[in-house]
Amino acid sequence: MTSSRRDFLRTAVLLSAAAPLAAAGCSTTDPETEKAGGGTLEKAKKAGVITVGFANEAPYGYTDKSGKLTGEAPELARAIFKNLGIDEIKGVQVDFGGLIGGLNAKRFDAIAAGMFITPERCASAAFANPEYVAKSAFMVPKGNPKGLKAAEDPGKKGAKVGVLTGAVEAGYAEKTGVKKGDIKTFADQASAYEGLKAGRIDCIWLTRISLADLLTKHQGEGFEVTDAFTPVIDGKEQLGAGAFAFRKADTDLVNAWNGELAKLQQGNKLLPILQPFGFTQAEMPGPGDTAAKFCQG
């Protein structure tokens, strides 16, 4: 479920996460690259390290108070890369909207940010199969004074909606009737919350998972998260499927990642990795939830 979610680079912040990481490989199909010593996967194996881009958005990929890179995506990376020969992960922090650009500029080798798979993004990056499928929700003032419960409500009621830069929710809002001038973009969850608190917006539109996590940081401050809902655009339900993204040339890495992800799913070992970050069985992908499905829209 995803999304949340965001194109300019913030100053890159490199972090080393010493937890064991063995690598799902990134091997390019470029013959010249192969001659030069292998693709991304082989290079990462030889170096013992792989670099991932993240947007510092909890609970997907962020740094905790100790400076450790964590979240559902980095922890899943640790589990999957463990059997692929890479012992270290480095993170590069980027605004969500700059993640695909940074990936293709080779600032990092994978996107670990719970990024939603969309047809537009699939034109620029190779997505692995999703690790979660999420529904939307709103964060609103306590009591939900505007009665925002469904995707169509903000447009019908003239509400100002906060979304994250580059997020799919901006498109959802516009296509369900919210005026462009009433869609306010924010760089991150913290600034969106400040906008809500200051009354500049009437709600924040993100995944239920994101907003539930945000609410835990602001208990007792007069806000709540609505029940989850699924936007319907042009007759199609818009479930957010979150996944890792790689460069299009790195087919070996994508295949290796998908193979290890399938093993976790088949062994019922995926949910225990994601559960500490607020995910439930309801967010686990089904058999037909593939990258190909969501790339088609």
Specify whether 184 is located in the same domain as 213.
yes
Write phi, then psi, for 65 (nearest 5 degrees). -60, -25
Q: What is the pLDDT of residue 22?
A: 29
Of 240, 283, 294, 237, whose CA–CA distance to 76 is shortest? 283
Q: Are strands 203-207 and 161-164 parallel, antiparallel or unpaired?
A: parallel
Specify whether 129 is located in the same domain as 20.
yes
- Within-domain flag for 124: yes
Tens digit of each residue's pLDDT (9 = 90 or more) over 181-226: 999 999 989 999 999 999 999 999 998 988 999 999 999 999 999 9
* CA-based max dimension of the chain: 63
Strand extents, DSSP E, 10-55:
14-17, 49-54
**AA identity, residue 55:** A
Q: What is the pLDDT of residue 38?
A: 64
Q: Are strands 69-70 and 62-63 parallel, antiparallel or unpaired?
A: antiparallel
- Within-domain flag for 8: no
Of 63, 33, 12, 2, whose CA–CA distance to 253 is shortest? 33
Per the listing, tokens 């460069």 go with 247
CATH number, domain at 266?
3.40.190.10
Pick the last residue of a domain from 220, 237, 254: 237
- Within-domain flag for 4: no
Pick the last residue of a domain from 186, 210, 237: 237
Specify whether 98 is located in the same domain as 140.
no
CA distances from 172 to 3, 269, 282, 295 (A): 10, 32, 22, 17
pTM, 2 dp: 0.71
- Within-domain flag for 65: yes
The HSE-up count of residue 4 (CA atoms within 13 Å, CB side) is 33
Task: Domain of residue 212: give its range.
Answer: 136-237
Element (H, E) at 162: strand 161-164
Q: Are strands 183-186 and 161-164 parallel, antiparallel or unpaired?
A: parallel
Write phi, then psi, for 228 (nearest 5 degrees). -70, 150
Specify whether 54 is located in the same domain as 124.
yes
- Within-domain flag for 6: no
Q: What angle do CA 82, 88, 94 make, to 5 degrees?
A: 110
Pick the last residue of a domain from 237, 253, 274: 237
If one counts the domains in the chain, the total is: 2
Output the six-digit token pair for 163: 């979304």
CB 231 within 8 A of CB 173: no
Each of the 297 residues of the chain gets a pLDDT tens digit; together they read 333 343 322 222 333 332 332 233 333 334 444 434 468 999 999 999 999 999 998 899 999 999 999 999 999 999 998 888 888 899 999 999 899 999 999 999 999 999 999 999 999 999 999 999 988 999 999 999 999 999 999 999 999 999 999 888 999 999 999 999 999 999 989 999 999 999 999 999 998 988 999 999 999 999 999 999 999 998 988 888 999 999 999 999 999 999 999 999 999 999 999 999 989 888 999 989 999 999 997
